[in-house]
Copies of this chain bind each other. A is one copy, B any other.
Amino acid sequence: MSEGISILGIRGLPEVQPGDDLGALIALHAARCGGLRDGDVVVVAQKVVSKAEGRLRDLRRVEPGEVARGYAERLGHDPRFVQVVLDESARVVRAERVLITETRHGFVCANAGVDHSNVPGQEVVCLLPEDCDRSAARLRMRLRELTGRETAVIVADTFGRPWRTGIVNVALGVAGLAPLIDYRGRPDDHGREMRATVVAVADELAAAAELVMRKTDRVPVAVIRGWHAEAPPGRGRDLIRPPELDLFR
């Protein structure tokens, strides 16, 4: 067997607080178990990134407006929570049982990625980072500064999807890595040109990382080792399909 890739969970991080140096925490805990290497892909759960960046809102300070109260009544939700979701959204896509919205970044997901779980305090919710690519790029620079290693960073969260049951981890922010590999124009194994084969490898890396991160475990960071792609680095926003090219809509 060849082309081996390994996925390692980084455990032991403390509860991340607003203002924490997340890069330093990751470097420290990675160092305790061998350290980062050049070429490693560091996949970080959005939640710890958001916490470090202070992307939290206290519902006790939220005044829900009329639209939020309308959705809240219809869905049986806390109107203050719905207000936060709407504040993070560019538009509402569906509102049946859960709110599916398009976030201001362009992600389509439940509740604009706003989440109660794994956040301390009953009345505090966690938002997605303001700019997930910027968060990934900053973390990558910080890891380079602290370790001297050239890594790639993915900020990831679990999203639901149409047609298929269950959520999967996807890449929201990307730095130092090609998010898509375009096989179009390359010959297949029989010399015929391949069509329509652009693989979202950053999403596959995020999904792979989730296998060691698990939802309930304290493994907010995974390191993927052995991934190589001869393609120029891009951004997480490259994974957002422009509406006019979305044949599924």
Contacts and interface: CB of A to CB of B under 8 A. Distances in A.
Interface string A1-43: 1111111111100000000000000000010011000000000
A164 B168 contact: no
B170 A164 contact: yes
A211 B8 contact: no
Nearest to A33: B1
B247 A96 contact: yes
A188 B216 contact: yes
Contact of A8 (B4, B119, B122, B164): B4
B166 A94 contact: no
Contact of A190 (B119, B190, B207): B119
B183 A215 contact: yes
A1, A118, A238: residue with the most chain B Cβ atoms closer than 10 Å = A1
Interface string A187-226: 1111010111111110111011011100111110001000
A196 B98 contact: yes
How many copies are assembled? 2
Contacts of A9: 1-4
Contacts of A74: none
A158 B183 CA distance: 13
Interface in A153-204: 158, 160-170, 179-180, 183, 186-190, 192, 194-201, 203-204
Contacts of A186: 216
Interface string A121-163: 0100000000000000000000000000000000000101111
Interface in A219-236: 219, 223, 227
A44 interface: no
20 contacts: A1-B8, A1-B10, A3-B11, A4-B7, A5-B208, A6-B6, A6-B7, A7-B208, A96-B247, A97-B247, A100-B248, A116-B192, A117-B197, A162-B162, A164-B240, A165-B238, A166-B201, A168-B199, A207-B207, A208-B211
Interface of A: 1-11, 30, 33-34, 93-94, 96-98, 100, 107-108, 110, 116-120, 122, 158, 160-170, 179-180, 183, 186-190, 192, 194-201, 203-205, 207-208, 210-212, 215-219, 223, 227, 238-241, 245-249
